[in-house]
Structure 1
Amino acid sequence: MHSAPSVPTWDPAQYLRHAGLRGRPFLDLLARVPEPPAGDGGPVMPGSGPAAPLRIADLGCGPGNVTALIADRWPAARITGFDNSREMLDRAGKEYAGPTAGGGALDFRAADLTRWTPGEPYGLILSNAALQWVPGHADLFAGWLDGLVPGGTFAFQVPGNFGSPSHTLLDGLRESPRWRARLAGPDRPVNTVLDPAGYLARLMDLGCTADVWETTYVQRLTGEDPVLDWVKGTALRPVLTALAGDPEATEEFLGEYRDLLRTAYPPGPHGTLFPFRRIFAVARKEP
């Protein structure tokens, strides 16, 4: 999870309250990732000797729950999750670090994705719902692709719902006279997510074979103020960080935002419906 110029404080427990729904796009992405090339965890040809272990990087690994899904698919791989949130890394390390069932290993390291470069050849670089926190992330693709072995894959998914009420109402509230001085300054996150065509063009310009698509999941949320509970784990983190230490202001802001969300996402007989648009990309480096 990455933000610039300041880093929000993350709450793994709050983020994981909706782990099943949050993880579904990653499973859909993972299903489209091709097998790695031979010699990097792929099939071994007879008489060729043992293959080098597949190296996988998970950029913005968060609390490690989706990184563990990577290990389920490639249990012999050496997988490293990178993140700049100490809270998330602590949770990931306690829950998932160590040997995997197929003789591989999971570990987690601190990294700022705005400066991260592959320190060794990777067969696969993945990122799940993290690059939206990295300003200008598409400009970093060339360096990341350079770190892939020939035939390796770079795959990611990011939110495409910045025009949704959950985000536009939050932006408008931050810009309101009551909150502008505290919440609309240089620490405000800037949306640098491209549209699907933009990502496809970038990746093809870099010589990749790429597949880019988008999906809108209609999430059925339940409970009291479920959309507010959802965004407390993600989009609201910069606000909650900026207002930390001022519980009165925090409750006032949350109350105003809660009222706006109740109007935008009214509950129905089957719960509260929350459209959740995601953008996916799978890019294969030429062999």
Structure 2
Amino acid sequence: MPADWNARQYLKFEDERTRPSRDLLAQVPLADAAFVVDLGCGPGNSTQLLAERFPGAEVLGLDTSPDMLAGARQRLPAARFETGDASTFTLDKPADLIFANAVLQWVPDHAVLLPRLVSMLAPGGVLAVQMPDNLDEPSHVAMRESAMSGPWADQLSDATRARAVLPEPGGYYNMLAPHATRVDIWHTIYNHPLDGISAIVEWLKGTGLRPFLSPLEGDERAQFLEDYAARLADLYRPRVDGKVLLAFPRLFMVVVK
């Protein structure tokens, strides 16, 4: 089982990680809400946006990570945070908004999962989803190449399949349209200027690299990261100011019941 998520590592790039939440929330067509759920709330950075947008709402944050939940409770003492898995959680009443930022890419069987989430909404309620759609980016291709090429290949065979490639937008539309009055789907590619290859590695240690690093320890983990960084150096060249640009495609969906 992968190690627990690390809230401190995740928040090393808090501004960049929170920007997609802001962009997603800006497209939520609700003037008000009484009950809002932040699914996969992480350390509460997205939950804080929801509480500010809907100050009169009951806000519930759900996550599977004890460390993330501890960080969220510290950040927002007035909100309610509970352990909950995206594929199995239940609500005691319909939600006006289920906000799922950068979590559902880790959850299988979207054809069952997404209609289930819509079914938990009140009439006129909104499911708002953002997922990284970056498995074909050089950063992630290099992860898999490093995993398959070293002495750790057998240990990391499962890690190369930890996330599935997302369906095309048309596939999501077909999943959701029968259960919704409106489905809005779009992609955004963020180009994050970072302070060199080491910053790309630090970014991904908080998310995409986790399944690759979790089975490794000590020197083996260090060797894997060295191999991975060397591959990145050939793929991400410094720009005029010395920074590198990390291209990061993300898929957004806003579904109105």
Q: TM-score, normalised by structure 1?
A: 0.84
More moved, 85-94 vs 224-233: 224-233
Aligned to 2:238: 267
| Per-residue Cα deviation, 1:173-203 (whole angstroms, up to 9, x for no partner) | 2222522211113794031522222222211
Larger Rg: 1 or 2?
A: 1
Letter in 2 for 1:282: V
Question: How many positions carry a matched residue from both structures?
Answer: 256
Find the aligned partners of 1:122 and 1:176 in 2 and give their Cα distance: 46
Matched, 1:179 2:152: yes
1:64 aligned residue (41, 44, 55)? 44
Q: Which residue of 1 aligns with 2:253?
A: 281
Tell me the residue number matched to 2:53. Answer: 73
**Structure 1 position 82 matched with structure 2 position 53:** no
Q: Structure 1 residue runs of 4+, over 4 Å off? A: none
RMSD: 1.7
Q: CA deviation at 1:120?
A: 1.6
1:9 corresponding residue in structure 2: 4
- Structure 2 distance, partners of 1:120, 1:23, is 28
Matched, 1:26 2:21: yes
Supply the distance in 2 between the matched residues of 1:280 and 1:198 (Cα, whole angstroms).
Answer: 14
Distance 1:204 1:67 in 2: 27
**Residue aligning to 2:181:** 208
- The corresponding residue for 2:227 is 256
Residue 141 (structure 1) aligns with:
114
* Alignment partner of 1:120 is 2:93: yes
SS at match of 2:233: helix
Q: Which amino acid aligns with 1:16?
A: L
The TM-score with structure 2 as length reference comes to 0.94
Mapped partners of 1:219, 1:208: distance in 2:
35
On the 8 A contact 2:159/2:212 being kept in 1, the answer is no
> % of aligned pairs identical?
37
Tell which deviates more after alignment, 222-231 or 124-133.
222-231
- 2:47 is aligned with what amino acid? T
**Which structure has greater helix proportion?**
2
Gaps of 5+ in 1: 1-5, 43-53, 99-105
Once residues 58 and 106 of structure 2 are traced to their aligned partners in structure 1, the CA distance between those partners, rounded to angstroms, is 26
CA distance in 2, matches of 1:176, 1:227: 20
* Mean CA deviation greater in 232-241 or 215-224: 215-224
Secondary structure at the residue paired with 1:242? coil
How many Å apart are 1:135 and its aligned residue?
1.4
Tell me, yes or no, if structure 1 residue 217 matches structure 2 residue 190: yes
Task: For residues 215-260 of structure 1, give each alpha carbon's deviation from its aligned partner in whole angstroms, at most 9, with x where no partner exists.
Answer: 11111112552211111111011122212xx211110111000101
Worse-matched range after superposition: 191-200 or 225-234: 191-200
